[in-house]
Structure 1
Amino acid sequence: MNLSTIYNFSKAIILTTLLSVSLSFSLKAQTKVYNLATYGIIPNSGKNSTPILWDLLKKIKAQTANNESVVIKFQKGRYDFYPVGAAVRTYYISNHDQDNPKIVGIALEKFKNLTVEGNGADLMFHGRMLPIALVEGNNVKLKNLSIDFESPQIAQIKVIENDTINGHIVFETAPWVKYMIKDSVFYNTGEGWQMQPTSGIAFESATKHIIFNSGDIRVGTKGVTEISPGKIKSYHWKNNNLIPGTVIAMRSWSRPAPGIFAHKGKNISLKNVKVHYAEGMGLLAQLTENIYMDGFGVCLRGKNDPRYFTTQADATHFSGCKGEIISKNGLYEGMMDDAINIHGTYLKLVKKIDSKTVIGRYMHSQSYGFDWGYENDSVQFIQSKTMELWDAKNRISSIVPIQANENDPIKEFRIEFTKELSAEIDPSKLDIGIENLTWTPSVVFTGNTIRNNRARGALFSTPKPVLVARNLFDHTSGCAILLCGDSNGWYETGACRDVEIRDNRFVNALTSMYQFTNAVISIYPEIPDLKNQKKYFHSGIRIQYNKFETFDRPILYAKSVNGLMFKDNKITTNKEYPAFHFNKKPISFNRLIGTEIGNNKVDGKLTDLLAN
């Protein structure tokens, strides 16, 4: 090796070493760590953490360059968050009450590469708040923390006497419930709020299962007197099912805010995050790309938790999202609606301005105020009465909100498409919905437990691939899985094209009747004029290797499907409850083609389920 070669080789080593050292320092400089205790946010202090953390978040945001990552660390313990000093925001949140402003406990807005490490932090909120908002974030992670409220808007009571002849019930409130009685009316009260419960969900005291065949019950909050503190007599409440010992979650239908709100985000990760209560849903994500949940829970605080309920509505809900939605190893229990619901939103085509331009309108009272689509998004059109799609798809060339004032919530859009619409797409002749195909996600829902909740288990409405595998559906009071679609009432899209449901265990689902609950697995698009439908709505559904443990008959119901497989499933019957469902067939179809049914066993014997 000559001197020139040695010199060049040595130079290369030095440069490589310097580059490595420089890169090492650069990488270290790109991550900033904030230990909250350093800034006076101390666990178990009882102090209001809201204003201190909000001020710190603003400083962190101002001090962070685009290439830097941020880690915010809690210590283990309880942190109290009060409305005083909180961020105040106008957020229009899908499938929630559109009342504004929202009081936000932790506003994480426009952060990139942010990790919030809880280390077992128990975040306790007070009053009516939106605990955590993840708005326009990219690569944001929440880890190892829980969300709860000191005073839930659900009043838990226990029946201690039931005079079924005279229609009198005596109940006692749970120790944490605060209330007042005014003009013989019971009001649940909390920090800055009061409400009269109008409905209830009744639970078995020992198992926390919802009472068989009860559904939503009327609660006796009018015509009451206090016998002693916490002990109340209701003089006009008659329900023979409410035996002494029954626990009831008394509630209203309000859902002002979720526990976690994700809006216009990308690459959002929730690991070992638990929501123990929220007055809306546990997690609501909209217009967000890629959401990863591992060990996420909307759940009680373990088997000894004296509460029987969690959230006022769905555990998780995804509206107009895209990319991937992954939920694995989760626990969803005690919520007042579904474990997961994934859909888009149909706009109603209300006016055709010309061959390329229309006006589309949000129709549901809980879904408006946010973007629906963007330039170059792919769309398709559907006839609302028959739920038949036009084959031709189109793209948005421009979309502009129609607002009288810039602060008005968005309810209508002027949309121009790249290609001319066919003459058939005419809102003066048909009710027509517009579906955004770009903002539809693929789904992986695996290894989760769903139990003791109201309404249904899992709802999916997306044309992208859906995998539902190795989950336990345990005493969901409605159907366990629903594939839906509706351009008439909820206006929630859309047709499923590739769904695999396998290796799940279903234990005594369908103990009460709710909307769309025709069987344990219910494929039930809302089609007002099915008899005139010529095409099919759903397709590509495969249901295999599942175990059904059931006290009743209906296992699978399907409507308007092209291509459905139900094979290699095992059904075991039991006597836990009496059979009661109106549907007496294990499998029942309404307008299907391309079915493949076989090798299914009932109590160990191969059985032709269609013949039963």
Structure 2
Amino acid sequence: MNELSERIQSVQDGECVVLEKNRIYTVAPEDSFHVSGLFFSNTAKKEENPNGERFCAIYLEDKQDVTIDGNGATVMLHGVMTPFVFKNCKNITLKNLSIDHVRPTMSEYTVIESEPVQATLIIRAEFLYRVENNTLFWHSEPSVSGEPYWEIPYKGPGVLSNAFDPETGILSYMVRGEGDERGGFPDIAEIEELAKGLLCVKLRDRKREIKVGTVVQTRDIRRFQTGGAIDKCKQVTLENLRVYSMNGFGILGQNSRDLTYRNLNLTPKEGRTIVSDADFFHFSGCSGTVNVLDCRAMGAHDDIINIHGTHLRVIEVNRSKNTVLLRYCHNESWGFEPYEAGDEIEFVSGNTLLPFGSATVLAVEKQNDTDFCVAVSQLPEREFPENAVAENVTRTASLNVIGNTFERIPSRAILCTTRKDVVIQNNTFRCMGAPVICVADDANFWFESGRSGTIWFENNTVEDCGAVEIPLGCDVIRYEPVVLDEQSTQAVHEKIIIRNNTFINHLADRYTINLNYVKCAEISGNTSNVPLHIKKQTGVKLV
């Protein structure tokens, strides 16, 4: 085992571990913690990681009152790894540490010349590649076996590419070519290697010309590992971390209580344009208070923050035993326990997203990786509607997002579905491709729950956001619960206060606040250099 992991393995409760100042700790999958049975929300499908395997530089389980002080050190990861995992821990602090990969799993290249049927690409030396039969393959550094840890083609069924425009600062989805499953670089017919890291490529599609200066970011869509994970923990603090790259996913907080992320810097290393393959901060089934304070995050392929619970579909109801059979229905969430005795759950119509009953969990029996038989204190007297689901109300958190700077993603800044209070204050949002705030709730697709309470959005600066969605109306704030019943008009969400914010848009002639299935919105004291349109569903009260 490597020296860092060996030191962490010996940690005792109450200990403060101080790493060697400014040292670079190199960690590989072969000499790190290899842990199975770690099933994480919104990550790998069952066929991709059936045993929930994680290769970790830092792993703590059943520990309390532990501080790991990096003291300016760097954890340099080989291959595909999760830098840290905390499981069943209490009062843990990780601080003053940098995290990077020897070879990031996101590959980047810049278009320096472009014509309708030809382009010239320049590739930095750290992004290892090979060319075979006029196909560009990206690969990692060699493992101990001499073979690379991973390799992917420049495009294909499991490969996705986005495009960053340094001129505008916008990171956007690439066009999906004919026959492509996902957006990506145009089909290459022929490759000439002019020099190492300099390729002239001939394109099959005359209509697909790529803008000169575009940086193409290419990755494997599979979420084998994460940028870190906190599972079934209480009182965890991440502080003064410098994260340069993440594999598969960002930092996941799952079924944990009271998490604080303070002064984290997740921005690209010089010469790179991207950090995370997906979200930066993901919170699933968390409770207590989640704090994201004074952080900077730039360059990801999905949301900055996503906080939600999980709707499990009601499969069977046994009234004689007061039990329900509940199922995870999205293929990226499975294996982890959704409830424990004493949790309060709410039964919800999958078509209207409105509750029709509640109960206390008495016992949970796992049937398999997706199905759980749950005994409850009582069942609703009414019949269960079509597509009924259940949400764990106990595992919902309040959220404070204060004093941060968030930049350059193609999607939403904050995807927020939690019924507890949400405070979003004194932040800067720049070049978000989609709305700064999206309040969803869904019981049929992603199954991310649930209804929201009151959101305070105050004293923030929003600049050039919603750019990817300009043709759709450039929403800057959007309520969009997935209500399938077209006859349903009752509000799902409670209230938002939008006050004393500065909106700036150089890319479009308007911003839109889009309000659907929310009871009330208070909007006052905001300034904008473009018209700020309010689009609302009938019945939404404006104050």
Same fold per superposition (TM over 0.5): yes
Aligned to 1:120, what secondary structure does the other structure show?
A: strand
Query: Is 2:299–2:407's contact at 8 Å kept on the other side of the alignment?
Result: yes
Structure 1 counterpart of 2:534, from 587, 590, 611: 587
Paired amino acid for 1:539: E
For 1:544 and 1:344, how far apart are their aligned partners in 2? 27
Query: Is 1:271–1:296's contact at 8 Å kept on the other side of the alignment?
Result: yes
Paired amino acid for 1:272: N
Residue 487 of structure 1 is matched in structure 2 by: 443
Query: Is 2:161–2:173's contact at 8 Å kept on the other side of the alignment?
Result: no
Could you tell me how far 1:413 is from its partner in structure 2? 0.5
Residue 533 of structure 1 is matched in structure 2 by: 488
Structure 2 counterpart of 1:236, from 179, 198, 204: 204
Query: Is 1:219–1:237's contact at 8 Å kept on the other side of the alignment?
Result: no
Alignment of 1:393-404 (within 5 A): 393-403=358-368
Structure 2 counterpart of 1:288, from 248, 253, 256: 256
Pair 1:103 & 2:60 matched: no
Query: Is 2:186–2:208's contact at 8 Å kept on the other side of the alignment?
Result: no
Residue 11 of structure 1 is matched in structure 2 by: none
Question: Based on CA coordinates, which of the two structures has the bigger radius of gyration?
Answer: 1
Paired amino acid for 1:82: A
For 1:86 and 1:336, how far apart are their aligned partners in 2? 28
For 1:212 and 1:148, how far apart are their aligned partners in 2? 25
Residue 608 of structure 1 is matched in structure 2 by: none
Residue 170 of structure 1 is matched in structure 2 by: 120
Structure 1 residues 451 and 397: CA distance shift in structure 2, 3 A? same
Residue 135 of structure 2 is matched in structure 1 by: 185
For 1:264 and 1:514, how far apart are their aligned partners in 2? 40
Paired amino acid for 2:125: P
Could you tell me how far 1:222 is from its partner in structure 2? 4.3
Pair 1:92 & 2:39 matched: yes
Paired amino acid for 2:163: A
Structure 1 residues 234 and 256: CA distance shift in structure 2, 3 A? farther
For 2:319 and 2:277, how far apart are their aligned partners in 1? 44
Pair 1:300 & 2:246 matched: no
Residue 179 of structure 2 is matched in structure 1 by: none
Could you tell me how far 1:482 is from its partner in structure 2? 0.8
Residue 275 of structure 1 is matched in structure 2 by: 243
Structure 1 residues 443 and 517: CA distance shift in structure 2, 3 A? farther
Query: Is 2:135–2:154's contact at 8 Å kept on the other side of the alignment?
Result: no
Query: Is 2:94–2:239's contact at 8 Å kept on the other side of the alignment?
Result: yes
Structure 2 counterpart of 1:422, from 373, 377, 381: 381
Paired amino acid for 1:313: A
Pair 1:265 & 2:233 matched: yes
Residue by residue over 1:24-61, the C-alpha shift from the partner in whole angstroms, topping out at 9 and shown as x without a partner, is xxxxxxxxxxxxxxxxxxxxxxxxxx52233333333x
Aligned to 2:8, what secondary structure does the other structure show?
A: helix
Paired amino acid for 1:168: Q
**More helix per residue:** 1
Pair 1:124 & 2:76 matched: yes
- Percent identity, please: 24
Aligned to 1:490, what secondary structure does the other structure show?
A: coil
Residue by residue over 1:367-397, the C-alpha shift from the partner in whole angstroms, topping out at 9 and shown as x without a partner, is 111010111111111111122222x321111
Query: Is 1:109–1:136's contact at 8 Å kept on the other side of the alignment?
Result: yes
For 1:213 and 1:105, how far apart are their aligned partners in 2? 34
Residue 87 of structure 2 is matched in structure 1 by: 135
Paired amino acid for 1:204: D
| TM-score, with structure 2 as normaliser | 0.90
For 1:307 and 1:289, how far apart are their aligned partners in 2? 34
For 2:353 and 2:164, how far apart are their aligned partners in 1? 38
Residue 77 of structure 1 is matched in structure 2 by: 23
Paired amino acid for 1:75: K
Alignment of 1:190-339 (within 5 A): 190-191=140-141, 192-198=149-155, 199-206=160-167, 208-210=169-171, 217-220=183-186, 222-228=188-194, 229-232=196-199, 233-236=201-204, 242-301=210-269, 305-339=270-304
CA-based RMSD of the aligned residues comes to 2.2
Paired amino acid for 1:494: G
**Greater Cα shift, 168-177 or 119-128:** 168-177
For 2:122 and 2:198, how far apart are their aligned partners in 1? 4
Pair 1:371 & 2:337 matched: yes
Aligned to 1:144, what secondary structure does the other structure show?
A: strand
Aligned to 2:406, what secondary structure does the other structure show?
A: strand
Paired amino acid for 1:93: F
Structure 1 residues 439 and 140: CA distance shift in structure 2, 3 A? same
Residue by residue over 1:222-264, the C-alpha shift from the partner in whole angstroms, topping out at 9 and shown as x without a partner, is 4341332222214225566622222111223222111111111
Residue 53 of structure 1 is matched in structure 2 by: 4
Pair 1:499 & 2:465 matched: no
Structure 1 residues 206 and 515: CA distance shift in structure 2, 3 A? closer
For 2:153 and 2:439, how far apart are their aligned partners in 1? 34
| TM-score, with structure 1 as normaliser | 0.80
For 2:536 and 2:105, how far apart are their aligned partners in 1? 41
Residue 29 of structure 1 is matched in structure 2 by: none
Query: Is 2:226–2:249's contact at 8 Å kept on the other side of the alignment?
Result: yes
Could you tell me how far 1:112 is from its partner in structure 2? 0.9
For 2:473 and 2:325, how far apart are their aligned partners in 1? 34
Query: Is 2:106–2:218's contact at 8 Å kept on the other side of the alignment?
Result: yes
Structure 1 residues 337 and 143: CA distance shift in structure 2, 3 A? same
Residue by residue over 1:209-233, the C-alpha shift from the partner in whole angstroms, topping out at 9 and shown as x without a partner, is 3269979842136434133222221
Pair 1:441 & 2:441 matched: no
Pair 1:549 & 2:504 matched: yes
Residue 562 of structure 1 is matched in structure 2 by: 519
Residue 96 of structure 2 is matched in structure 1 by: 144
Residue 160 of structure 1 is matched in structure 2 by: 112
Paired amino acid for 1:590: Q
For 2:9 and 2:187, how far apart are their aligned partners in 1? 45
Aligned to 2:516, what secondary structure does the other structure show?
A: strand
For 1:288 and 1:514, how far apart are their aligned partners in 2? 37
Structure 1 residues 562 and 58: CA distance shift in structure 2, 3 A? same
For 1:348 and 1:417, how far apart are their aligned partners in 2? 16
Paired amino acid for 2:165: E
**Greater Cα shift, 173-182 or 327-336:** 173-182
Query: Is 2:16–2:69's contact at 8 Å kept on the other side of the alignment?
Result: no
Gaps of 5+ in 1: 1-49, 404-409, 575-584, 597-612
For 1:379 and 1:535, how far apart are their aligned partners in 2? 21
Query: Is 2:481–2:492's contact at 8 Å kept on the other side of the alignment?
Result: yes
Aligned to 2:482, what secondary structure does the other structure show?
A: coil
For 1:171 and 1:238, how far apart are their aligned partners in 2? 17
Residue 146 of structure 2 is matched in structure 1 by: none
**More strand per residue:** 2
Residue 145 of structure 2 is matched in structure 1 by: none
**Greater Cα shift, 353-362 or 333-342:** 353-362
Structure 1 residues 125 and 505: CA distance shift in structure 2, 3 A? same
